[in-house]
Amino acid sequence: MHGTLSTVTGKRMATDRIPTIMWTALILLASAHITASMENTVEATSGLDVLLPCVCPKNEDHYLVWQIQGKVVDYYIREHKNKSNISDQFEGRTRLFFSDHNRDCSLLLLGVTTADMGTYTCYYKNPEYDESKVNLTISETDTRVNPTVAPPADKTAAFAVSGVILVLIVLLAVVLTVRFRDRRLKFQVVNGEPVTPSRV
């Protein structure tokens, strides 16, 4: 009997790790999907102005910084009025919409050129430091019907899709965990008899 119990206990310990590993993998997958959906792509035409969207919480710390490839594009920091850190490439070509009363941390970039292409990062406090990325692509000719400032991307749809996927992943994990537990109980044997849940 002792040999049978130790075999069952050893198998139980090995199989108890599987749901934990499965949950960890599902959480990592969901977070990777949500992170990927947070990056916007904005298309612009050379010579025109473009709005790079960034929705941030009401920021009591008054901290907002836009960067691209280590270069400072523009920023708003409460006690840092001197903007001498802005890259020469963007000097006098930017406008921020940041204020204490709204959630708009967007950046208006004036007279874009192909040299402005790349991934811009909007850093803000939430209350910890957080970020949002915008990939800017620029064409030489206008391919849009109405060449105006690009509107902010609708993050609601991205969050809704991410939320649905996350719920489906959690439901799948719960179903797999329950099925795995039932299967494990069905095949555990002590003294030649199946173990019932009350004997576990």
| Sequence-separated (6 or more) residues with CB below 8 Å from residue 112 | 44, 45, 46, 47, 48, 49, 50, 136, 138
Q: Is the pLDDT of residue 142 over 80?
A: no
Task: Give the range with max mean pLDDT: 16-25, 28-37, 136-145.
Answer: 136-145
**Which is higher by pLDDT, 150 or 192?**
192
pLDDT at 37: 43
Q: Is the pLDDT of residue 93 over 70?
A: yes
Confidence label for 27 from pLDDT (cuts 50, 70 and 90) = low
Confidence label for 168 from pLDDT (cuts 50, 70 and 90) = confident
| Sequence-separated (6 or more) residues with CB below 8 Å from residue 38 | 132, 133, 155, 158
**Which is higher by pLDDT, 91 or 165?**
91
Architecture of domain 39-153: Sandwich (2.60)
**Which is higher by pLDDT, 114 or 151?**
114
pLDDT tens-digit profile of 41-91? 999 999 999 999 998 877 666 788 999 999 999 998 877 777 888 999 999
* Mean of per-residue pLDDT scores for the chain: 75
Confidence label for 121 from pLDDT (cuts 50, 70 and 90) = very high
